[in-house]
Chains A and B, each alone.
Chain A
Amino acid sequence: MNQVSATLSSAVALGTPLVLAAMGGLVNKRGGIVNIGLEGKMLTGAFVAVLVAWKVGDPWLATLCAGWAGAAVAVPFTLVITRLNANEIIVGLGFNVLVAGLIGYLLPVAFGVYGSLNPSNLPGLPELTIPLLDRVPVLKALSGQTILTYLALASVPATAWFLSSTTAGIRLRAAGENLAAARSAGIDPLGWRDTSTVIAGLFAGLAGAQLSIGIVNLFTVGMTAGRGYIALAAFYFGAARPWPTAAAAFLFALVDAIQVRLPGNDLPPQVGDMLPYVAVLAALITVAIARKRRERLLGAL
C-alpha cells in the first residue's frame, strides 16, 4: 500500500468513532439536549469493549456490550437533566470527570494496573475485506475496515431518514424544539429527550469500541483524547444536519491521519489538533454574521 491509500485508510478508521459519536450527538441536539458527555460515554464503551473481549473472548459481543454500556450510562445522565432540571453543560462536564475517575479508580483496584489495560491475545474486531471494492483506487480505503465503519457509514442516511421521515423522528424533533408545543400536541417531550440521549449514548459507546478493539487492541484512560468534543465540533459545524456533520467528522479525521502518516510534512501537530475547534468557531462566526446582515436588511425595509 502506498502512502496515500494508507493515509486514507487510516482516516476512515479514525473517522469512524467521530462519525458515530457525532451522529449520536446530532440526534441528541435535535432532541433538545447539547451533549457534552459524549466523551465519557465513549470512554465507557471503550472500557467495556476491552473488558468483554478479554473476559469472554468475543469481539462482536464486546461491541454490542459497549453500545449498551454507553446507552446505560446515558440513562441517569439524561434523567438528571430532564427530570431534575440540571444544566446540561455542567452535567456533561461533570459526567466526563466522573467517568474518567471511576474507570481510573477501577483499573488499579480490580486489575492492578494504572491508566491502561492491555491483556495479551485480546481479540479485536476483524477487518472485513470487501471483494472488488478493495481493488478500486481511493475507494479501497473503505475495504479492510471493521464492522463499525460500515455501521457509521450506514448511520448517516439512516439518521437523515429517521429524523425527516419517521413519526418517531418528527416527535423527537418536536420535543427538541418546543416543550410546551410538543406537550399540547400529545407528545411526551421529556420522554423523547431521554430517548435521544440514550441513542447518543449507544452511538458513543460503539464509537468507544472502535477506539479500543477496532483501531488498537488495548484500553487507556486517555484514549478518547477529546474525541467527544471533536464530535461536538462536527455536529455544530454541520448545523446538526447528518451529511454535513459526517463530512466535517471525516475531514477532521483526515487531517489527523495526514499528520500521523505523512512524513516530512511541516505542519506542527498542535496546529492540526486545533483545526476542529478553529473550524467550528469559524462556522459559528459565519452563521452569526449572516444572521446579523439579514436582520439589518430586514430592519432597513
Chain B
Amino acid sequence: MEAGTAVQQPLPRLTAGSAAAVARILLPFLSALALGAVVLWLSGRDALHVYWLLAQHSLGDRTSLANTLAQTTPVLLTGLATAFAFRAGVFNIGVEGSLYLGAFAAAWLGFTFVHLAGPLLIAAALAFAGLAGALFALAPAVLKTRLDVDEVVTTLMFNFIAIGLTSYLVNGPYLATGTANSMSPLVANQGSLPILAAPSQLTIGILIALGTTILYWLVFARTTAGYELRTVGQTRRFAAASGISTARSIMIAFLGSGFIGGIAGGIQILGVNHRFIDHFSPGYGFTGIAVALLGRNTALGCLLAALFFGALANGGATVQLFTNIPLELINVLQGTVMIFAVVELGRARRGA
C-alpha cells in the first residue's frame, strides 16, 4: 500500500482557480457540523443554538478561552507529531502509544527524582518523555526501513502494547501505595508546570506547544532536512534519484513524530494529572490524526484544527453540564472530520 500519497495532501495554493481546493479544506469541517446538526435535530435540539452555546462556552470570556487553550495543548502536539510523519509519507498512527510512554516516563522521573529543582525537574522530565516517545517509534521505524514491514499495522499494534505496558507498570511495580488502583505516585510539587491563567487549567504547556508549532514550520520551510522529508513524502523515487536517503528520512520522520508525541504525554502529566493514571488519554493521539488531516499537515493548519478540537472539548464539557447534551456529540464531529478529510473529490480513481 502506498500509504504516503494518501495522507500527503499539502495545503493547495489559494488562487482564483482553486475553488475546489477551498472546498477540500472546508468539506470535512462543514460535513461534521452538518452531521452534528442532523443528530441534534433528530434528538429535538436546536442545532444552531447548541453550536452558539459551544462557541460561547469555549471562547466567550477569558477563563473559557484559557481552558480552550488548555484543551488545545495535547491535541496540537499530537497533531504536529502525526503531521511530522505524514509529511514524509510515513503513515504513523502510533502517536497515542508514544504519548503513553512519554507520559509514564515524565511521571517516573517526577516521582523518582523528587529533590531536583523545579525548572530542572520539568526540563528533564519532558526530555525523558520525548526520548521515550521516540524510542517507542524506533521499533516500527526499524521494521519499516530494514524489513519493509508496513507501518500502518505495526504502529496500530504497538499502540495497544504501549497502553498495556504502562497499565502493567502502574498496576504492578509503580502502583502508588494507599491510593485507588491504577495510579502512580504523585510527581514532586515543583515538577508541576506553572499555571498561566488561574483559575483555568492553562499552563506553560501551551507555550511549549506553540514553540513546537513554530519549530515545525521552520523545519519544513527553512531546513534541508525538512526539504528532504517533504520530497520523500511526495515521491520516494524522485527523492532517491536526487540523492536523498529515503531510509534516513523515514527514520527521522518516525523519531521526530515519536519525540513530539512523547512530549505531548509529558506535558499532560506535569500540567494536568500530576501522576500517571492508567488509560488516562481519551484518544489524544487519534484526535491528533484528525488535527493533522484537517490541517493538511501544515503548521498553521494544525494550529487552527487543534484550536477547533480544543474548543469542542472544552465547550462540550461545559454544555453537557448545563444543557444535558451528551459530550459524545464531540466524537461524532471528530469521526466525521476524519472520514471527510481523506475524501478525494473529483480525482481519478487510484489503481491498486
Q: Give the interface of A toward B (CB within 8 A).
A: 32, 34, 36, 80, 84-87, 89-91, 93-110, 114, 178-180, 190, 226, 229, 232-233, 236, 268, 270-271, 273-274, 277-278, 280-281, 284-285, 288-289, 291-292
Segment 338-352 of B: residues with Cβ below 8 Å from A: 338-345, 347, 349-352
B contacts, CB < 8 Å to A? 1, 3, 6-7, 39, 43, 91, 93, 143, 147-149, 152-154, 156-158, 160-161, 164-165, 167-168, 171-172, 283, 286, 289-290, 293, 324, 326, 328-345, 347, 349-352
Give the chain B neighbours of A91 by CB distance below 8 A.
338-339, 342
Of A102, A104, A232, A292, the residue contacting B147 (CB under 8 A) is A292
Q: Which of the residues B1, B171, B289, B335 comes within 8 Å of A98, measured between beta carbons?
A: B335
A285 to chain B, nearest CB (A): 7
Residues of chain B with a CB closer than 8 A to A270's CB = 164-165, 167-168, 171
A274 vs B43: C-alpha distance in the bound complex, in angstroms? 39
Q: A98 and B336 in contact (CB under 8 A), knowing A84-B344, A91-B342? A: yes
- Given A236-B153, A288-B147, A268 and B171 touching (CB < 8 A)? yes
Which listed residue, B93, B167, B331, B334, touches A89 by the CB 8 Å rule?
B93
Is B161 within 8 A of A86, CB to CB?
no
State in angstroms the CA–CA spacing of A284 and B3 once bound together: 18
Partner of B347, one of A36, A85, A114, A229: A85
Taking a contact as CB atoms closer than 8 A, the residue among B43, B336, B338, B350 that contacts A90 in the complex is: B338
In the complex, chain B residues whose CB is within 8 Å of the CB of A232: 153, 156
B338 touches A93 (CB 8 A): yes
Q: Which residues of A contact B7 (CB under 8 A)?
A: 87, 90
Minimum-distance CB pairs A-B, first 4:
A98-B335, A101-B331, A94-B338, A104-B328
Distance of A292 Cα from B145 Cα, bound (Å): 12
From B1, B43, B164, B324, residue with most partner A Cβ within 10 Å: B164
B342 cross-chain contacts in A, Cβ below 8 A:
86-87, 90-91
A179–B333 Cα distance when bound, in Å, is: 33
A91 to B340, CA, bound (A): 8
A-B contact pairs, 28 of them (CB 8 A): A84-B345, A85-B343, A86-B339, A86-B342, A89-B3, A89-B91, A90-B7, A90-B339, A91-B339, A93-B93, A94-B290, A94-B335, A94-B339, A100-B328, A101-B329, A102-B328, A104-B328, A105-B326, A109-B326, A236-B153, A270-B165, A277-B161, A277-B164, A280-B153, A281-B158, A285-B147, A285-B149, A289-B147
Closest-CB distance, B147 to chain A (whole angstroms)? 4
CA A229 – CA B96 in complex, angstroms? 15
Q: Which of B331, B336, B341 contacts A104 (CB 8 A)?
A: B331
Interface of A is mostly: helix
Q: Is the interface of B mostly helix, strand, loop or mixed?
A: helix
CB distance from A32 to the nearest CB of B (A): 6
CB-CB under 8 A from B329, the residues of chain A are 101, 105
Residues of A near B349 (CB, < 8 A) are: 85, 179, 190
- Closest B residue, CB atoms, query A100: B331
- Tell me which residues across on chain B come within 8 A of A274, comparing CB atoms: 160-161, 164-165
CB distance from B149 to the nearest CB of A (A): 5
For residue A40, which residue of chain B has the nearest CB?
A: B335
A156 → B minimal CB distance (Å): 23
B328 touches A97 (CB 8 A): no
| Across-interface contacts of A291 in B (CB, < 8 A) | 148
Q: Which residue of B lies closest to A182 (CB)?
A: B352
Instruction: Say yes or no: B331 contacts A97, CB within 8 Å.
Output: yes
Report the minimum CB–CB distance from B299 to chain A (whole Å): 21
Contact A86/B331 with A98-B336, A229-B160, A285-B147 known, Cβ cut-off 8 Å = no
| Complexed CA–CA distance, A18 and B333 (Å) | 29
Q: Are B335 and A277 in contact (CB under 8 A)?
A: no
A274, B289: Cα distance in complex, Å: 23
Whether A98 and B347, one on each chain, are in contact in the complex, defined by CB atoms closer than 8 angstroms, is no
Closest chain B residue to A94, Cβ basis: B338
Option from B6, B148, B157, B330 in Cβ contact (under 8 Å) with A101: B330
Contact of B335 among A95, A109, A273, A284 (CB under 8 A): A95
Q: Which residues of A contact B290 (CB under 8 A)?
A: 94
- Which residue of chain B is the closest to A273 with respect to CB atoms? B164
Give CA–CA (A166, B344) in the complex, Å: 34
Whole-angstrom distance between the Cβ of B325 and the nearest chain A Cβ:
8
